[in-house]
Amino acid sequence: MPKLYIETVGCQMNVLDSELVVAALRQRGYELTGSTSDADTILFNTCSVREHAEEKIYSALGRLKNAKRQNPHKIIGVIGCMAQNHQRTVFERAPYVDLVVGPGQLHQVPDLLEKIAAGAGPQLEVSLGRKDGSRDEITRSHESFDPLRDPTMRPTPFQAYVRIQIGCDKFCTYCIVPSVRGPEQSRPPQHILAEARQLAAEGCKEITLLGQTVNSYRYRDGERTTRMSDLLAALHEIDGLERIKFVTNYPKDMTDDLLAAVRDLPKLAKYLHVPAQSGSNRVLQRMKRGYTIEEYREMHARIRDWLPEAAVTSDFIVGFCGETDEDFEESCELVRECHFKNSFIFKYSQRPGTKGAELYADDVPEDVKRRRNNELLAIQNQISEEDNQPFLGRQVEVLVEGPSKSAERSGATGILPVQNREQTQPPGLTGKMPVAHETVQLVGRTMCDRIVVFDGNPRQIGQILPVSIYDANAHTLFGAVVTQHVGPELFTLTT
Ligand code: 5AD
Ligand code: SF4
């Protein structure tokens, strides 16, 4: 049986793509390995959003040069966004790479690997660029790829990503995604529902719907239009599913019917990731985000009106072209004012091929970007900590994901760590059976996507449990499983 090593970087979309590629390869007899040295095929599923992510892949490829020299039959492949972005350049920079496949062509990976093994030489399959044909041709060249699922490849078997949309048409000037993932396409609702039903039947309790601008989801079929809120209502009906999340939202498409759906459907997570990117109108305009900061504030106020308890999170880019201290201060102000549960903060990374790279100089020095990044992060961390304080003494419902990182590091459990499951899991095995009576530190999430750490029993993994919170820092709530009094005896949920 050929052995496959796969490494995934980037967003949830890539995690899902890797799951699907592995599922397809398992059907062809591949088994997974956690080490590059005993792998017959090594795949890197890559990201192009920032330069750093691409350079790390070239370094990883560089480290494989000798292994390939020693064993020329080892197949090395680069798949995903960097493959689409760099295409032949990957072969130029790492001539021993055998396979380059863009995110719109991943269904071809199994056949291409067979061709390479049969001696056909290096293979390149990418989709059309955004100027390389009619919209229809370009769209068709970005095939969505959702035929098979593989529960053992997921971070946990009871949580799954479901793609509802591919590509993006917003063309924010800093962003490479519209070039590498192609035109925005919403997936037919009946396909999404069938996949969600299948996942629920396999024991999946939580699905996270994925799209670059997920709330722009809209599917037209003749006279009928399915909006995001309609799709959520239909998914909500599926027995077995207990939680539904969706990422990432585009501020301008946060419509009232969607907020009403999140409010009224109990399985929907009261959690909205709606990136602002900047608090300054001047910067937003240069970014071509399509809204003013006043419009973002209005949208945020509507979320608070409809969903006062919801956790709202954001992304920010610091050091975008021409960003002044005053512009940056406006981002700080927005973070303070909106009281985000969390913000992901990135230093601007110029991406060749974007409008931003063409129109504006990357003129904010690296040390200023770093300082702004740290400053905004410090403001956000303080808010995150404040935001977690009201949970002290409260009870929350936690979907238990697995042993906490520190429990894993100390080797306290016989279970595979949540984060590394896909790397370490041999095919067909579910890992060492947890020891049922052992108490370990477990980690899970609330409906609002808050991370909760508590002591429990490995058997509780995959359950939704009441946890009482006694401590909190910026990123984690600490709690104890609530014991229930049933009948004459004390029945504890931890046993
Ligand atoms: N430089 C830095 N951050 C970027 N992002 C997207 N493109 C860039 C870039 N060129 C950030 C945005 C987006 C997140 C996924 O990555 O904040 O929301
Ligand atoms: Fe990139 Fe903007 Fe599309 Fe998000 S909305 S993927 S930032 S172009």
Last residue within a domain, chosen from 361, 387, 413: 387
The pLDDT score that the predictor gives to residue 436 is: 57
- Asked if residue 422 and residue 285 are part of one domain, the reply reads no
- Asked if residue 205 and residue 124 are part of one domain, the reply reads no
The pLDDT score that the predictor gives to residue 251 is: 98
- Asked if residue 198 and residue 151 are part of one domain, the reply reads yes
Give residue 313's Cα distance to chain centre: 14
d(CA 31, CA 372): 45
The pLDDT score that the predictor gives to residue 426 is: 29
In contact, 262 and 245? CB cutoff 8 Å:
no
Say which residues have a Cβ less than 8 Å from residue 361's Cβ, sequence separation at least 6. Answer: 321
Nearest CA to ligand 1 atom 5: 49
In contact, 248 and 277? CB cutoff 8 Å:
no
Ligand with smallest separation from the Cα of 289:
2
In contact, 8 and 18? CB cutoff 8 Å:
yes
- Asked if residue 97 and residue 7 are part of one domain, the reply reads yes
d(CA 274, CA 258): 13
d(CA 296, CA 213): 15
- Asked if residue 437 and residue 335 are part of one domain, the reply reads no
Last residue within a domain, chosen from 133, 168, 188: 133
- Asked if residue 86 and residue 160 are part of one domain, the reply reads no
Last residue within a domain, chosen from 133, 162, 194: 133
The pLDDT score that the predictor gives to residue 145 is: 59
The pLDDT score that the predictor gives to residue 414 is: 40
The pLDDT score that the predictor gives to residue 144 is: 66
- Asked if residue 287 and residue 432 are part of one domain, the reply reads no
For residue 174, report the distance from its CA to the centre of ligand 2, in Å.
8
For residue 71, report the distance from its CA to the centre of ligand 2, in Å.
41
The pLDDT score that the predictor gives to residue 408 is: 67
**Residue 220: beta bridge partners?**
225
Ligand with smallest separation from the Cα of 49:
1
Instruction: Give the CATH number of the domain where residue 178 resides.
Output: 3.80.30.20
d(CA 315, CA 332): 12
The domain tally of the chain equals: 3
Q: Which domain holds residue 362?
A: 140-387
Number of alpha carbons in the 13 Å side-chain half-sphere of residue 137? 7
Give the largest Cα separation in the chain, rounded. Answer: 74
The pLDDT score that the predictor gives to residue 437 is: 63
The three-class DSSP label of residue 486 is strand
- Asked if residue 402 and residue 361 are part of one domain, the reply reads no
- Asked if residue 95 and residue 43 are part of one domain, the reply reads yes
- Asked if residue 267 and residue 201 are part of one domain, the reply reads yes
Question: Does residue 170 have its Cβ closer than 6 Å to ligand 2?
Answer: yes
- Asked if residue 144 and residue 119 are part of one domain, the reply reads no
- What residues does ligand 1 touch, defined as CB less than 6 Å away? 49-50, 174-175, 275, 277, 315, 317, 346, 348-349, 351
Which pTM was predicted? 0.91
The pLDDT score that the predictor gives to residue 143 is: 75
Mutational pocket test of ligand 2: of 170, 174, 185, the residue with most ligand atoms within 8 Å of the beta carbon: 170
Residue labelled with tokens 């504890």: 492
For residue 351, give the ligand 1 atom closest to its CA: 10
For residue 178, give the ligand 2 atom closest to its CA: 8
Residue 415 vs residues 141, 403, 433: alpha-carbon distances, Å: 41, 7, 7
Instruction: Give the CATH number of the domain where residue 114 resides.
Output: 3.40.50.12160
User: Residue 469, exposed/middle/buried by CB under 10 A (0-12, 13-18, 19+)?
Assistant: buried
Backbone angles phi, psi at 426, to 5 degrees: -75, 150
The pLDDT score that the predictor gives to residue 373 is: 98
Q: Return averaged pLDDT per consecutive 10 residues of the chain, 495 residues in all.
A: 96 93 93 95 98 97 96 97 97 98 95 97 92 86 72 82 95 97 94 93 95 97 96 98 98 98 98 98 98 98 97 98 98 98 98 97 98 98 97 97 79 41 32 60 96 95 96 97 64 40
